[in-house]
Amino acid sequence: MIKYNEVSVSFGTFNVLKNVNFHIQKGDFLHIVGPNGSGKTTLVKTLVGLLKPTSGTIEMNTDNMGYLPQKLNLKNQLPMTVQEVIYSGFKKQRLIPTKTECELIKAWLLKMEIPELFNKSMNYLSGGQQQRVYLIRALISNPEILILDEPTSALDPSFREKFYHLLYDIQQKQQTTIIHVTHDLTDAVKDDCKVMYVDQSIKFLGSYHDFTHFEHRGHHHA
Ligand code: ADP
């Protein structure tokens, strides 16, 4: 479903990613870990198409992607309501959302435990509430590939676990391919997940079980 061939990314003379090769299948749940500044965000940006590799090629058989970027600094800058932000995640945009679309948004707000925020302005939300809204935005169009860059950084621990259950549910029911950048694997990982350890290149890609042995050999994620 996704295949990287010798992908490198440089900013000037600084090589962030060097000769990255990997492929993943439809329905895979991949966790990307690695130290700070190791190139994780850069890697997912090439996937989403926000960044062009300096060299190498990326093959993908769909462009139906949902993306949650790492840094969202729209707070207090965009006078948008929660409904409008989520609506912008639909692939087909009409001037006004249909009734069915509004119902879908409301159902997701309920699942994310923020039903009361439907008509609120984003400016009034806490960081954690905003993050939930952006998560719904990424999920709303049933993307074939879901790319989440540290999606739980502002979520409280009790909701974090629920959120991962939700993701596993989506992965199983809809065969969604999920790519998840994180620096805390603990509550996110299940046995059939894959783990990629990035540090300029891919130092490890395999099962979570094998990854724990890899870690014991002296590699630690931040
Ligand atoms: P991670 O997500 O693993 O923390 P990033 O992919 O964000 O790492 O960044 C990897 C390295 O590339 C960092 O040293 C960062 O400063 C650098 N970098 C990222 N984007 C740019 C850019 N647009 N211009 C210059 N350097 C960049």
Residue 39: Cβ within 10 Å count: 23
Structure pTM? Answer: 0.91
Sort residue 78 into left (φ over 0), alpha (ψ -120 to 50) or beta. Answer: beta
Task: Answer whether 33's CB lies under 8 Å from 198's CB.
Answer: yes
Ligand 1 in reach of 39 Cβ (< 6 A): yes
**Distance (Å) from CA 9 to ligand 1 centroid:** 10
Look at ligand 1, atom 22, and give the residue with the nearest C-alpha.
Answer: 11
Ligand 1 in reach of 40 Cβ (< 6 A): yes
Which tokens belong to 51? 């960044």
Averaged over successive runs of 10 residues, the pLDDT of the chain (222 residues) comes to: 97 96 96 95 96 97 91 70 93 87 94 94 89 93 94 87 91 95 82 92 93 76 48
Ligand 1 in reach of 37 Cβ (< 6 A): yes
